[in-house]
């Protein structure tokens, strides 16, 4: 190979490690697309911003960060995706499997996802945790592996519990799987479970589902975290209260709305850590080569006001953990 050709090849390889923004002489654009409401996504977005600052970024000086929130409206979410693609975007940040899947189907732009499943089977999001392949990387929520612990904590409040509702999104395969796994955990602990499939951000649908649980003797419901249940958090909690049903969640958003408790991965910590992958991608690394990380921090949050209203005594062992 002639020296001139070798130099040209070297220049081409070097250019390949640079981001699109670098080659175009502009600031990298990071697009956060939440399928839930702005209120539900606020803590996640705030933590992402904090993580970007920790990586040395300043909005408007080293990066551009834009955010959209679809409030459970999938048509609106898809419209946002195509608007963002035309911007153009250097990396998407997707809070949850549903947003990740929709973005992945629309574009080859890399995605840093927050709240992926912990296993590769049963979905089309990544090949493996160690080598995700494709355009998706990020952090797992580990949601399917915490169901048993969540039920154990609930039974410390309600030792005579016999019928448990499981409210989950039926429009996405990941959340369907989490519902099935929670049902299996309930059965393993001797409980009869009632799966409540939510298909839209509709207060009427929530009322119908929870009333069905009440009619079957259900005393409590576990709410599987996703964009639909987060968007409808207030309606879920208020309707459950009217029907005398205790609400247990996977994270803090529903506790803020009045649920008894939540137990799950620390989502703001995952969001802060996601900024590290965003930084690496805009500097030229490929999502396919970045291993999907697992959560390292978990939270037990108890709403003492709700416990008092329900006439429940908080076990000292749980107070020590909360």
DSSP 140-167: E--GGGSHHHHHHHHHHH-TT--EEEEE
When the candidates are 3.40.50.2300, 3.20.20.450, 3.90.1150.10, 3.40.720.10, the CATH number that belongs to 3-142+267-296 is 3.40.50.2300
Contacts 24+ apart (CB under 8 A), 237-245: 239/203, 239/206, 239/207, 239/210, 240/210, 241/309, 243/210, 243/211, 243/213, 243/214, 244/214, 244/219, 245/165, 245/210, 245/213, 245/214, 245/218, 245/219, 245/220, 245/221
pLDDT one-digit tens code per residue, 178-212: 888 899 999 999 999 999 999 988 999 999 999 99
Paired sense of beta strands 136-140 and 163-169, if any: unpaired
Q: What residue spans in the chain does CATH classification 3.40.50.2300 cover?
A: 3-142+267-296, 144-265+299-321
Q: What is the largest CA-CA distance in the chain?
A: 83
Would you state the pLDDT for residue 10? 38
Would you state the pLDDT for residue 8? 40
Q: What mean pLDDT comes out for the span 246-250?
A: 95
Q: What mean pLDDT comes out for the span 203-227?
A: 96
When the candidates are 3.30.360.10, 2.40.30.10, 3.90.1150.10, 3.40.50.2300, the CATH number that belongs to 144-265+299-321 is 3.40.50.2300
pLDDT band at residue 322 under the 50/70/90 scheme: low
277 backbone dihedrals φ, ψ, rounded to 5°:
-70, -35
pLDDT band at residue 317 under the 50/70/90 scheme: confident
40 backbone dihedrals φ, ψ, rounded to 5°:
-65, -30
Q: What mean pLDDT comes out for the span 257-262?
A: 96
Question: What is the average pLDDT value for the chain, to the nearest integer?
Answer: 89
pLDDT band at residue 5 under the 50/70/90 scheme: very low
Contact status, residue 245 vs residue 233, Cβ threshold 8 Å? no
Lowest mean pLDDT among 118-122, 240-244, 270-274: 118-122
Would you state the pLDDT for residue 178? 83
Contacts with 288 (C-beta within 8 Å, 6 or more apart), sequence order: 131, 132, 133, 134, 135, 137
Q: CA–CA distance from 129 to each of 116, 140, 184, 272 (Å)?
A: 10, 9, 24, 19
Would you state the pLDDT for residue 226? 87
Would you state the pLDDT for residue 211? 98
pLDDT one-digit tens code per residue, 60-79: 999 999 999 999 899 999 99
Contact status, residue 84 vs residue 102, Cβ threshold 8 Å? no
Would you state the pLDDT for residue 1? 44
Given a cut of 60, whether residue 15 has pLDDT beyond it is no
Contacts with 321 (C-beta within 8 Å, 6 or more apart), sequence order: 300
CA distance 206 to 239: 8
Given a cut of 70, whether residue 227 has pLDDT beyond it is yes
Structure tokens at 167: 């409210």
């Amino acid at each position: 190979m002639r020296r001139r050709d070798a130099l040209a090849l070297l220049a081409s390889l070097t250019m390949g490690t640079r981001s699109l923004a670098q080659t175009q002489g502009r600031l990298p654009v990071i697009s956060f697309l939440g399928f839930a409401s702005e209120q539900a996504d606020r803590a996640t977005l705030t933590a992402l911003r904090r993580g970007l600052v920790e990586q040395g970024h300043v909005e408007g000086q080293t990066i551009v960060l834009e955010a959209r929130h679809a409030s459970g409206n999938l048509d609106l979410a898809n419209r946002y995706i195509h608007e963002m693609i035309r911007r153009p975007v250097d990396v998407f940040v997707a809070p949850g499997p549903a947003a990740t899947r929709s973005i992945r189907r629309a574009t080859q732009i890399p995605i840093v996802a927050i709240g992926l499943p912990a296993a590769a089977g049963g979905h089309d999001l990544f090949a493996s945790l160690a080598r995700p392949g494709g355009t998706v990387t990020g952090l797992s929520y580990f949601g399917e592996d915490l169901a048993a612990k969540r039920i154990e904590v609930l039974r410390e409040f309600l030792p005579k519990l016999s019928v448990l509702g499981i409210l989950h999104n039926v429009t996405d395969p990941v959340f369907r799987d989490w519902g099935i796994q929670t049902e299996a955990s309930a059965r393993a602990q001797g409980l009869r479970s009632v799966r409540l499939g939510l298909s839209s951000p509709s207060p009427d649908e929530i009322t119908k589902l929870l009333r069905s649980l009440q009619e079957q003797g259900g005393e409590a419901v576990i709410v599987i975290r996703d964009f639909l249940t987060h968007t409808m958090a207030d309606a879920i909690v208020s309707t459950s209260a009217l029907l005398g049903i205790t609400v247990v969640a996977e994270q803090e958003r529903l506790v803020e709305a009045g649920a008894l408790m939540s137990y799950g991965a620390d989502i703001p910590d995952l969001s802060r850590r996601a900024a590290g992958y965003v930084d690496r991608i805009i500097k030229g690394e490929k999502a396919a080569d970045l291993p999907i990380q697992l959560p390292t921090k978990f939270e037990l949050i108890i709403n003492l006001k709700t416990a008092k209203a329900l006439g429940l005594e908080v076990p000292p062992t749980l107070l020590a953990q909360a």
